[in-house]
Amino acid sequence: MTDLEEDSKIDAVDRVIIRFAGDSGDGMQLTGDRFTTASAIHGNDLATFPDYPAEIRAPAGSLAGVSAFQVQISDHDIMTPGDAPEVMVAMNPAALKSDLHLLTPGGTLIVNRDTFEERNLAKAGYDYNPLEEGEDLEGYRIISVPMTSLTKEACKDLGVKPRDAERSKNFFALGLVSWMYSRPTEPTFEWIDERFAGKEQIISANKAAFSAGHVYGESAELGDQRVVVKAAPLASGTYTNINGNTALSWGLIAASQLSDLPIFLGTYPITPASDILHELAKHKAFGVTTFQAEDEIAAVGAALGASYGGHLGITTTSGPGVALKSETMGLAISLELPLVVVNIQRGGPSTGLPTKTEAADLLMAMYGRHGESPLPIVAAQTPSECFFAAIEACRIAITHRTPVMLLSDGYLANGSEPWLLPDVDALEPINVEYATEFNHIGEDGEADYWPYLRDEKLVRSMAIPGTPDLMHRIGGIEKEDGSGNISYDPANHSRMVEIRAERIKRIDVPDVEVVGDPDAEVLIVGWGSTWGSITSALGRVRSSGHKVAHVHLTHLNPFPKNLEEVLKGRSHILVPEMNTGQLSLMLRAEYLVDAKPISKVAGQPFTAGELEQTILTYVEEKSTS
Amino acid sequence: MTDVMDSEAVPETSRADWQSDQEVRWCPGCGDYSILTALQLLLPDLGVRREKTVFISGIGCAARFPYYMNTYGMHSIHGRAPAIATGLALARPDLDIWVVGGDGDMLSIGGNHLIHALRRNTNINILLFNNQIYGLTKGQFSPTSEAGKITKSSPVGLISEPFNPISVALGAEASFVARSHDMDRKHLQEVFSRAHAHPGASFVEVYQNCNVFNDGAFAEITKKDSRDDMLINLIHGEPIQFGSERQFGVVQTADGVEIANVNEVGIESLLVHDETRSNPSTAFALSRLAKGPTEPTPVGVFRAAVREEYASAMSGQVMGVAEERGKGQLKDLLHSLPTWEV
Ligand code: SF4
């Protein structure tokens, strides 16, 4: 416990949700990220939600250019970045206009007063100054600070040009919020030194701005605003704060180490998946090859070529890219070669909402190819779980020689949470077996090699190029089971279609675990990134006296074997998903159960509050009907 | 392609060792047969191993090629062979990789992959069998069909201009660009063997007769009795000269090259062919000499320039980082962001 926490004058709160909002050029993501790290190191549990603008360079000060970062920090285990922020920093009128409605009634609003002048007000669509007139801010606690001028003032003796000094104003905001939440200054100073190494002027300006913000809190009689969020009683061990795309990249590297196959990433830049390319490109020391191809099709083609050569072929993309890759995925299904296709889902169709989240590619993953072309689907449920989901997708691809779709989404990709680092030595190795010898006796009595001879899981034999004597040809034309020779025989085609379906069914996937009230009549079935919101919402629903059970699927094809058992006998099955009911459709088709979707397609994740309300309304109606 | 240094000597092989057990199924009389034979006869002389050789193709008549080779092979999807081969070549620089396809496969649906494979200069041998027609889908015009051509899909005449594959390859920064034709096995083998020896992406256009849907497209230049006057054999270091009496030559002009009568201009003013020029402009001018295979047409190696090979540069980066920082450790990776203890 720090001195601050023992200071009896400072109130402790169990959790707080803070939103930093400003113009894209104001550095809000950096500020939010830095505050998150300081909180993580302090020992809080937390979850973040960076909310990027759709445009890369929207006009400064416009509504389209607002960039926000929301973080919930807490002294106990939490699953989401929270619903309504209690504290909001608005760096300009546009940020105020676009995000004020999110702030909880009675919440604290910190505004940079200097930006509330005519031009910026007009750009945000105000014909008055809400800090001085109107009723917009009624019911909130307003801390109106001239951040720009105070930052300039703090920097004036440092030899920094006023224009450059102004750029440090986000550090003023960070200093002020850090003071309010009793965060230590030292780690941030160290970080500034590291991050801006070699740029002495920027270092001194940022530090001066940060200190000025801190001092402002101290001296401006904001004493009653100061609170502390104590460390959360998390399981002991080493933690790091991680977002989904980084965890996923590391999971791919882990799978490469566990299988001893070098990673070959064939990819094409696309939001929100590109960060996986950036992350993997940094890790050549792990034998990682990253190939930025001419298009999505070449990206997956190259990955498949590398798989054929005995590497771990991976391609990363988002929905529109998956559409382009679907023909090659069909080829991989026909060739029965390992391939991992990572889809970081975003709002669609078409370009849709590239920077906003949605999980509406489940049916595309399941059925979005020509012909009968089943493949396994794995979905991650939290940012840190992306690590394990990536290993699982690679394990299935490698051991079952099949393309696998790994689903994540924009919310998981960019959101972060503290992660108790796993013991890497305890991760299970992935067994890779390539054929090196003849496996068949031909009609002439001579030994030969048949690439489509199968084991009991229906996994075919695979000899990689370079293996002496086992030369053979594979292709997308239908082939005879066993020999792999081209075959247009009707009975053989039926048999191959059956085999391709059956071999996916034979993949071992772990049973689902029922949490909450296991015997409840109401069952919530979730998949993917809704886990946090569902878990938080159900906690509240159950504490108001209702019985509800929850299962969360990470394997969507094949479904866990016990799922049928779990669904059977429930009176009510609700499926919250960020689409218009794709999993519920699959459950209905597979199990003939009355699964009802709870849909959200707004480019934003479910809040725990809205799920709580929907589920409560449902269970209450049900008990009165 | 450079040969892999194997510790053991490469075993002697014959044509039969390179033939698969699959029945060859092109139309009787198709030019593809002679190209297949030329390559199967050549491979035993290249000092390479069958198990280290891979043929990758897309879709089309030409794309059946891998099935007939007793090597590793993949018959993939329309247009994508250069992309798949690039991934394989990057993963496995020890392999000898050939890509085989037609004009529709590689210049239409797969045009993007072809130009980028050539631009990157990954060590693969790309053989484009140009028959100026779609064969497998039974006779539609292709991106190399001549304007005005009557086909099933252009019954009143094709409106668009064709690609010149050699110009396309040169424009795509290809480091090795050559042309041959299906009527001259020796020439085919010379060109294939040069392409194979080239360290980087090599591009060979082969004029191939589709006797079913576009018979005789190249006959004016490839027929035995007209070859001397219609084919201009490019030989590195020699003046470009052709004709039954070697009476014609190629001279440089202000805006390209043109054919001249040797007696009129003198042999010393003929253009001396230099494959290795780093500037591809002269090679490009040569590629424009004939508007189509009805005029005197250059064959042989247009360009064989030295450029960094992509796969070795890529693996150099990967190995360089591993050497500099040591082999990656998963545990260190997981601890690479700020951590804290609880
Ligand atoms: S259609 Fe033409 S190219 Fe195709 S196999 Fe027949 S002759 Fe050859």
In order, the DSSP letters of B83-96 are HHHHHHHHH-TTSE
H or E stretch covering A52: none
Q: What are the tens digits of pLDDT across the range A344-402?
A: 999 999 999 999 999 999 999 999 999 999 999 999 999 999 999 999 999 999 999 99
Domain boundaries, chain B: 2-217
> Left (φ > 0), alpha (ψ -120 to 50) or beta: where does A456 sit?
alpha
Judged by CB atoms closer than 8 Å, whether chains meet at A475 and B331 is answered as no
- Chain B contacts in chain A segment 555-614 (CB below 8 A): none
Peptide bond into A558 cis (omega under 30): yes
One-letter identity of residue A408: S
CB A369 within 8 A of CB A405: no
pLDDT greater at residue A625 or residue B18: B18
The owner of tokens 């609170």 is: A227
- Chain A contacts in chain B segment 93-152 (CB below 8 A): 94-95, 112-113, 116
Average pLDDT, rounded, for chain A: 93
The reply to whether A41 touches chain B by the CB within 8 Å rule is: yes
CB A25 within 8 A of CB A250: no
> Cβ–Cβ contacts within 10 Å for residue A564, how many?
13
pLDDT at residue B3, rounded to an integer: 45
Distance in angstroms between the alpha carbons of the first and the last residue of chain A: 52
Answer yes or no: is the C-beta of B105 below 6 A from any ligand 1 atom: no
Distance B214 CA to ligand 1 centre (A): 9
> Cβ–Cβ contacts within 10 Å for residue B157, how many?
11
B321 — phi, psi (to 5°)?
-65, -40
The reply to whether A242 touches chain B by the CB within 8 Å rule is: yes
pTM across the whole model: 0.92
> Cβ–Cβ contacts within 10 Å for residue B19, how many?
15
Distance A249 CA to ligand 1 centre (A): 47
Kindly report the nearest CA distance between residue A89 and chain B, in angstroms. 25
Percentages of chain B per state (helix, strand, coil), in multiples of 5: 35, 20, 45
- Chain A contacts in chain B segment 297-336 (CB below 8 A): 314-315, 317-318, 320-322, 325-328, 330-331, 333-335
Give dist(CA A107, CA A96) in Å, integer.
13
CB B178 within 8 A of CB B169: no
Which residues of chain B are within 8 Å of residue A283 when distances are taken between CB atoms?
Answer: 328, 333
Distances (CA, A) of B105 to A22, B32, B63, B111, B130: 51, 15, 8, 8, 10
pLDDT at residue A2, rounded to an integer: 41
Which two tokens mark A418?
């503290």
Domain B2-217: CATH superfamily, name plus number: Thiamin diphosphate (ThDP)-binding fold, Pyr/PP domains (3.40.50.970)
A599 — phi, psi (to 5°)?
-105, 150
Q: Which of B51, B318, B330 sits opposite A287 (nearest CB)?
A: B318
pLDDT at residue A185, rounded to an integer: 85
One-letter identity of residue A235: A
Which residues of chain B are within 8 Å of residue A242 when distances are taken between CB atoms?
Answer: 337
Kindly report the nearest CA distance between residue A84 and chain B, in angstroms. 28
Q: What are the tens digits of pLDDT across the range B60-88?
A: 999 999 999 999 999 999 999 999 999 99
Q: Is the pLDDT of residue B280 over 60?
A: yes
CB A565 within 8 A of CB A585: no
Mean pLDDT across B102-114? 97
Give dist(CA B75, CA B58) in Å, integer.
6
Q: Is the pLDDT of residue A495 over 70?
A: yes
Mean pLDDT across A167-191? 91
**Beta partners for residue A143, in sequence order:** A110
Give dist(CA A289, CA B315) in Å, integer.
8
Pairing mode of beta strands B248-253, B256-261: antiparallel
Instruction: State whether the Cα torsion A364-A369-A370-A375 is positive or negative.
Output: negative
pLDDT band of residue A163 (cuts 50, 70, 90) is confident
- Chain B contacts in chain A segment 518-557 (CB below 8 A): none
Judged by CB atoms closer than 8 Å, whether chains meet at B73 and A474 is answered as yes
SS3 B272: strand
- Ligand 1 atom nearest the C-alpha of B60 is 4
Give dist(CA A362, CA A134) in Å, integer.
46
Q: Is the pLDDT of residue B251 over 90?
A: yes
Nearest Cα to Cα of residue B305 among B205, B171, B177, B180: B177
Which residues of chain A are within 8 Å of residue B74 when distances are taken between CB atoms?
Answer: 308, 335, 473-475
Distance B217 CA to ligand 1 centre (A): 13
Which residue owns the Cα nearest ligand 1 atom 5?
Answer: B26
Give dist(CA B121, CA B53) in Å, integer.
19
Answer yes or no: is the C-beta of B211 below 6 A from any ligand 1 atom: yes
Q: Which residues of A233-255 are buried (b: 16+ CB within 10 A; e: fewer)?
A: eeeeeebbbbbbbbbbbbbbbbb
Which residues of chain A are within 8 Å of residue B52 when distances are taken between CB atoms?
Answer: 465-466
Instruction: Count residue pairs from A and B with Cβ separation < 8 A.
Output: 200
Peptide bond into A383 cis (omega under 30): no
Which residues of chain A are within 8 Å of residue B50 when distances are taken between CB atoms?
Answer: 471
Judged by CB atoms closer than 8 Å, whether chains meet at B87 and A301 is answered as yes
Q: Is the pLDDT of residue B137 over 90?
A: yes
Which two tokens mark B177?
């660009």
**Mutation choice for ligand 1 from B61, B128, B144, CB with most ligand atoms inside 8 A:** B61
In chain A the domains, ranked by start, together with CATH numbers, are: 2-229 (3.40.920.10), 241-426 (3.40.50.970), 515-624 (3.40.50.920)
Which two tokens mark A621?
């109606």
Average pLDDT, rounded, for chain B: 95
Give dist(CA A416, CA A71) in Å, integer.
9
Answer yes or no: is the C-beta of B213 below 6 A from any ligand 1 atom: yes
Give dist(CA B176, CA B124) in Å, integer.
11
Contacts of A426 (CB under 8 A, 6+ apart): none
Which residues of chain B are within 8 Å of residue A285 when distances are taken between CB atoms?
Answer: 321-322, 325-328
Contacts of A219 (CB under 8 A, 6+ apart): none
Instruction: State whether the Cα torsion A171-A177-A178-A179 is positive or negative.
Output: positive
- Ligand 1 atom nearest the C-alpha of B62 is 3
CB B337 within 8 A of CB A241: yes
A575 — phi, psi (to 5°)?
-125, 95
A339 — phi, psi (to 5°)?
-165, 135
**Mutation choice for ligand 1 from B33, B105, B131, CB with most ligand atoms inside 8 A:** B131
User: Considering only A493-507, B164-178, B316-330, which range has the smallest mean pLDDT?
Assistant: B316-330
Which residue owns the Cα nearest ligand 1 atom 3?
Answer: B210
Which residue owns the Cα nearest ligand 1 atom 6?
Answer: B27
Judged by CB atoms closer than 8 Å, whether chains meet at A471 and B95 is answered as no
Answer yes or no: is the C-beta of B131 below 6 A from any ligand 1 atom: yes
H or E stretch covering B178: strand B176-181
pLDDT at residue A624, rounded to an integer: 66
The reply to whether B153 touches chain A by the CB within 8 Å rule is: no
Which residue owns the Cα nearest ligand 1 atom 1?
Answer: B135
List own/partner pairs for B70-74 with CB under 8 A and 24 or more apart.
B70/A471, B70/B17, B70/B18, B70/B19, B70/B20, B70/B21, B71/A471, B71/B18, B72/A465, B72/A466, B72/A471, B72/A472, B72/A473, B73/A471, B73/A472, B73/A473, B73/A474, B73/A475, B74/A308, B74/A335, B74/A473, B74/A474, B74/A475
Judged by CB atoms closer than 8 Å, whether chains meet at A486 and B67 is answered as yes
Mean pLDDT across A299-308? 98
> Left (φ > 0), alpha (ψ -120 to 50) or beta: where does B107 sit?
alpha
Distance B111 CA to ligand 1 centre (A): 21
pLDDT at residue A221, rounded to an integer: 66
pLDDT at residue A149, rounded to an integer: 94
pLDDT at residue A161, rounded to an integer: 84
Q: In chain B, what percentage of residues exceed pLDDT 70?
A: 98
Answer yes or no: is the C-beta of B32 below 6 A from any ligand 1 atom: yes
SS3 A426: helix
Q: What are the tens digits of pLDDT across the range A69-125?
A: 999 999 888 889 988 999 999 999 999 999 999 999 989 999 999 999 999 999 999
**Beta partners for residue A240, in sequence order:** A419, B339
Distance B210 CA to ligand 1 centre (A): 5
pLDDT at residue A77, rounded to an integer: 86
pLDDT at residue A625, rounded to an integer: 58
Distance B116 CA to ligand 1 centre (A): 28
SS (H, E, C) A144-175: EECHHHHHHHHHHHHCCCHHHHHCCHHHHHHH
CB A467 within 8 A of CB A435: yes
Q: Is the pLDDT of residue A224 over 80?
A: no
Q: What are the tens digits of pLDDT across the range B169-195?
A: 999 999 999 999 999 999 999 999 999
Torsion angle in degrees (nearest 10) through CA of B144, B150, B153, B155 = 160
ipTM above 0.90, yes or no: yes
Q: Which of B69, B90, B112 sits opposite A294 (nearest CB)?
A: B112
Q: Which residues of A45-60 are buried (b: 16+ CB within 10 A; e: fewer)?
A: bbbbbbbbbbeeebee
Give dist(CA B221, CA B293) in Å, integer.
6
pLDDT at residue A591, rounded to an integer: 97
Q: Which of A289, A295, A475 sits opposite B74 (nearest CB)?
A: A475
Q: What are the tens digits of pLDDT across the range A203-215?
A: 999 999 999 999 9
Which two tokens mark A447?
């030994």
